[in-house]
């Protein structure tokens, strides 16, 4: 019998005891029903989605600004790299996303960055 329904022929003490047991367990039948999904859909948090799906604009989740001054040759390489990334991904890529991905790739490959610095004369 559902909690709250009364049985005119039942024993009041039995209902009270059942109610106390449900309270001890911390779960009532009504709570269990409301917590059990009726469909196969799974609830998820927006933060569980990949960046490209959870943001409204390309600047979402980008509070930090890293202004970067580059040489002309670097600018040309950057544009080529952005186009090549789009080719590799098979989709349009926002310039901010491409630049940040390239930036992160450099952080993951510091030996290559060190080689470039040596080419610029940092090991003289």
Give per-residue pLDDT as tens, 63-92.
888 888 999 999 999 999 999 999 999 999
**Is residue 63 located within the same domain as residue 106?**
yes
Residue with tokens 């992160």: 104
Domain count, the chain: 2
Domain that holds residue 34: 1-43
Structure pTM?
0.57
Burial class (CB in 10 A: 0-12, 13-18, 19+), 41: exposed
**Is residue 60 located within the same domain as residue 110?**
yes
CB 54 within 8 A of CB 47: yes
Q: What is the pLDDT of residues 15-61, one digit of tens each?
A: 555 544 444 455 444 444 444 456 677 777 877 788 878 877 887 87
49 is a domain residue: no
């Amino acid at each position: 019998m559902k909690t709250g329904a009364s049985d005119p022929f039942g024993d009041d003490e039995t209902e009270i005891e059942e109610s106390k047991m449900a309270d001890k367990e911390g779960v009532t039948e009504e709570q269990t029903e409301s917590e059990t999904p009726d469909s196969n859909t799974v609830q998820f948090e927006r933060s569980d989605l990949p960046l490209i799906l959870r943001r409204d604009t390309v600047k979402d989740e980008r509070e930090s600004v890293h202004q970067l001054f580059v040489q002309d040759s670097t600018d040309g390489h950057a544009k080529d790299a952005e186009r090549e990334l789009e080719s590799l991904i098979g989709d349009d890529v926002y310039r901010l996303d491409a630049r940040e991905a390239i930036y992160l790739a450099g952080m993951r490959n510091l030996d290559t960055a060190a080689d470039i610095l040596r080419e610029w004369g940092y090991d003289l």
